[in-house]
Structure 1
Amino acid sequence: MRADAKKNYEGLLAVAREVIAEQGVDASLRDIARRADVGLATLYRHFPTREALLEALLQKALSDLIARSEILYRSDLPAVALTTWFIEATTFVHVFKGIVDLMAEALADPGSALHEDCKNLRAAGTKLLRSAQQAGVARKDVDGDDLFALIGAAGWIGDQPAFEDRADRLASFIANALMCPPQEGDSAGSS
């Protein structure tokens, strides 16, 4: 890729991230091009469809979140790893307003450009959940699909203006609700 084309590509992604954070996944592509100070044709040359733009934006974010799950899996206690990752995943969902619907659709559609990434993200969370369950610190009645849905629900809460000021607290509450209640005599708790 030529230097100017690479600069346009990276600039478009940076601006798209900002605009989508403000307006959601249905943000105007024309607004993105205008803010990036390029023509709409330049945007379409790099990203022929809205899904192509979202895929480029999300692939890096999703792969970073998947890599983060591996780091947490290897380095932290299972309860800490699961709750930390849950909150980070919820933050990711909140940053990309409206992404919950898109990710749910991508999971249901094997032909979607985001299907594999979303499937891998769900698998990463499931691995952390199973580790915490095997350690006896996470509820056994939750599975990876539930975890993914709870991340989406917690992210949705943050997208709602009426709940935005309490979104982080509620995400932490949901993350902690995944843990087993402390047993009698267990003063340290499980998370």
Structure 2
Amino acid sequence: MPPSDRTPHAAHLDATAAPTAPQRADGRRNQARVLEEAFAAFAAHGAAVSIREIARRAGVSTGTVTRHFPTKEALFRAVALHRIEHLVHSAEEIAAKEHPSTAFFTFFAFLVRQSAADHAVGDALTGAGFDLQSAASTAIHDFNAALAGLLTRAQQAGAVRGDADSADLKALIAGCIARDDDGTAQQRMIEIACNGLRPSAG
């Protein structure tokens, strides 16, 4: 799933990040520009990118950025949670189209590729950036539920070993995206991880 072509309005990203007071037209334009550049910057560099760099890309002052998003965590959270929402939709689509024995592996490979291509996703899922897992977020709750649901159904179908859990999956994703130097190495890591998740012949 490629990143969204359009930067959504902040209100659709995260209720805690959106300002509560009405904004002037120039304020809305600045906020949209900040979000657009934050999407690109976090995708390329993950949570390590600075507010100063995002402001430079957007052509605004750091004060303008912090006026809309008081901390870098608030801005990263808005971007990352929007990405997580897309992952949830993808999980639902895969679960509806494929048998549980294959749906899980399809989604696992999808997560690895998305995490490697978009560092905001990778940092959010592996905890390398800000700890989104601790946030009371509907998107995070839905993602965890979708991942656990695919895993449980695959285990019930006998396609995945019964002792694997969501924490194992996130650790495997982190290992796979560490080899993002080329597509061949990444695919090999996905295959190694998936083979390890399948029940042993015994």
* TM band (smaller chain): 0.7 to 0.9
Residue 170, structure 1, aligned to residue 189, structure 2: yes
CA deviation digits over 1:108-138, x for unaligned, max 9? xx3x46x664444232111101111111222
Give the whole-Å Cα distance in 1 for the aligned partners of 2:36 and 2:119. Answer: 13
State the shift of 1:31 in Å. Answer: 1.2
- Is 46-55 or 98-107 further displaced after alignment? 98-107
Closer, same or farther: CA 171–14 of 1 in aligned 2, 3 Å: farther
Change (3 A) 1:116 1:149: farther
Distance 1:6 1:177, change over 3 A: farther
- The C-alpha deviation readout for 1:82-124, integer Å capped at 9, x for no partner, is 11211222233221166123468443xx3x46x6644442321
The answer on 1:143 being equivalent to 2:165 is yes
Bigger Cα displacement from structure 2, 173-182 vs 77-86 = 173-182
Could you tell me how far 1:144 is from its partner in structure 2? 2.1
| Partners of 1:91 and 1:11 in 2: CA distance | 27
Contact (CA 8 Å) 1:83, 1:176: kept in 2 or not?
no
Taking only aligned residues, the RMSD between alpha carbons, in angstroms, comes to 2.6
Q: What's the CA shift for 1:56?
A: 0.6
Task: Provide the residue aligned with 1:81 in structure 2.
Answer: 103
Moved more, 44-53 or 148-157: 148-157
Unmatched 5+ residue regions in structure 1? 159-163, 184-191
* Structure 2 gaps, min length 5: 1-22
Structure 1 counterpart of 2:119: 96
Post-superposition offset of 1:13: 1.9
Cα distance in 2 for residues equivalent to 1:172 and 1:150: 11
Matched pairs, number = 174
Q: Indicate the residue corresponding to 2:44 in structure 1.
A: 22
Matched, 1:153 2:175: yes
Counterpart residue type for residue 188 of structure 2: R
Percent sequence identity over aligned pairs: 32
Is 1:134 the equivalent of 2:156? yes
**In structure 2, C-alpha distance between the alignment counterparts of 1:5 and 1:151, rounded to whole Å:** 38
User: What's the offset of the Cα at 1:182?
Assistant: 7.6
Contact 1:69 1:125 in 2 (8 A): yes
Alpha-carbon separation, structure 1, partners of 2:175 and 2:24: 42
Instruction: Tell me by how many angstroms 1:3 deviates.
Output: 3.9
Q: Which residue of 1 aligns with 2:63?
A: 41
Shift of 1:66: 1.2
TM-score, scaled relative to structure 1: 0.77
**Residues 120/104 of structure 1: CA separation in 2 closer, same or farther (3 Å cut):** farther
Match for residue 11 of structure 2?
none
The Cα of 1:40 is off from its aligned counterpart by 1.2
